[in-house]
Amino acid sequence: MSTKPHGIRRRVRVFVASPGDVPEERDALRIVVEELRRTIGDSNLIDLELVRWETHTWPDMGADAQDVINREIGTYDIFVGVMWRKLGTPTRRADSGTVEEFDRAVRYNKKYGRPKIMFYFRTAPFYTESSEEVDQFKKVLAFKSKLRTAGALYWQHSTPLDFERLVREHLIRQISVVAEEIRQEAGFPRRARKNGSMKGSRGGRR
């Protein structure tokens, strides 16, 4: 007897939020989501979709550009945030577009239990003589403190390759949770959870 549910597919949307100084992480996430879509996603009847403002928005009018992005992106299941040196450009409602997207995700998570929130910080050192860039980095540090206060466990990475490895493992865990939900909906018995080790640089703990 097959233990794999048939005919039930679920779309899982993964939204990436970041300022413009981490394009390598954004590209790495695109590669990882496509890889997982073809492999464990397909075998578990899960249609993974990476949602980015570059590919999922179109020209329109709103209170500001971020307001348009918020409306057109729609709902999603997993929020992946990434920062390094910059917090980003302020909006009318938050210190940056990324911060506004995070705040919205937190509100929906508290109300609906979705999206799941995963935040990452690159810790590679950098040098600058620009006072503006120094101010931006200070804002990133303040945002880290905000995450700790909000009860978030964020992860840190030194290189985009390190991020790719971490986010792959973390998304596999998220997909496993969704796959188990599909099994339960199909009437299959709950699988026993296995304990696993996670390697990497963690953050957000007091």
Query: Do the beta carbons of residue 156 and residue 202 sit within 8 Å?
Result: yes
| Alpha carbons 107 and 96: distance in angstroms, whole number | 17
pLDDT of 193 = 57
Parse the chain into domains and list their residue ranges.
Answer: 10-202
- The whole-angstrom separation of Cα 108 and Cα 10 is 20
Per-residue pLDDT at 184? 74
pLDDT of residue 198: 46
| pLDDT at residue 205, as a whole number | 44
Which fold, 10-202? Rossmann fold (3.40.50)
Its pTM stands at 0.87
List per-block mean pLDDT (blocks of 10 residues) for the chain, which spans 206 residues.
62 96 98 96 91 95 95 96 97 97 96 95 96 97 94 96 98 90 70 52 50
Predicted local distance difference test score (pLDDT) of residue 104: 97
Q: Provide CB contacts within 8 A for 120, sequence distance 6+.
A: 25, 80, 81, 82, 83, 154, 155, 156, 157, 163, 166, 167
Alpha-helical runs (H) found in 7-159 = 23-36, 42-43, 53-56, 65-73, 97-112, 131-149
pLDDT of residue 192: 61
What pLDDT is attached to residue 80?
Answer: 98
- Per-residue model confidence (pLDDT) at position 2: 46
Which pLDDT score, from 0 to 100, does residue 133 have? Answer: 97
| Size (the chain), residues | 206
